[in-house]
Amino acid sequence: MKLISVNVGEKRTLQKGDKWVTTGIFKFPASGRVRIGELGLEGDVIMDAKHHGGPDQAVYVYGEADYAWWREQLGRDLPPGIFGENLTISELESASFNVGDVLLVGEVKLQVTAPRIPCSDFAARMDDLQWVKKFRAAERPGLYCRVLQEGFVQAGDSVTVEKYEGETLSLVQMYRDHYQSEKDKALLQRHLAAPVSIRTRRKMEDELQKHFDPK
């Protein structure tokens, strides 16, 4: 696999219904090398820190295999970065990954922590009121990653994958579980056994304590 594009976010306004919001979802290919640190790409804009960014969602990755599927479904061009991803990678299909899998991209080592959950900003960016529903149904969520090794990346870098050998679950299963309103104890424990994102871990720990281990 190869790194097709390195995409850095710009601060822009976006119309959502009858209001305007400031967002960092507009990401565009950068030229040359870009440094990736613990919190993501140098110069990348994150506006909604409650739901985006942070050490466990530092880098968002989307694959050309998933993009090709979407182009066929939508019947239009989808340039790298339009989904708000930081790294666009050839051949990559997000449904084939497990939580904990590692991507080696140029000098950088990334670990998969969570799927991307579509939001209203994403729907507005795609100019499609049904986008959240469509993206959920497609089960091609892309990969949120933490940074295990910092460094520089640039378009054309080789990309390799190291499968996680510890206890884990598939990214698609984690995606489906997110939408499951009633989560039993086994499901919560399965998530907590995997190297999931800190946001997911805190949410699952709270649910486990509230419903199954009350003090």
pLDDT at 215: 60
| Edge-to-edge strands, sheet with 34-37 | 40-41, 34-37, 151-153
Task: Enumerate the domain spans of the chain.
Answer: 3-166
Each of the 215 residues of the chain gets a pLDDT tens digit; together they read 999 999 999 889 998 888 898 998 999 999 999 999 999 999 998 877 777 788 999 999 999 999 999 999 999 999 999 999 999 999 999 999 999 999 999 999 999 999 999 998 999 999 999 999 999 999 999 999 999 999 999 999 999 999 999 999 999 999 999 998 888 999 999 999 999 999 999 999 998 888 887 66
**One-letter identity of residue 102:** V
This prediction has a pTM of 0.93
Q: 4-19 burial, b if ≥16 CB within 10 A, otherwise e?
A: bbbbbbeeeebeeeee
CA–CA separation, 1 and 64 (whole Å):
10
Helix %, strand %, coil % of the chain (to 5): 30, 30, 40
pLDDT at 88: 98
Tokens of 207: 């649910």
Tokens of 149: 């090794």
CA–CA separation, 103 and 65 (whole Å):
16
pLDDT at 214: 65
Helix (H) / strand (E) element for 125: namely helix 120-125
* CATH superfamily of the domain spanning 3-166: PK beta-barrel domain-like (2.40.33.20)
Secondary structure (3-state) at 181: coil
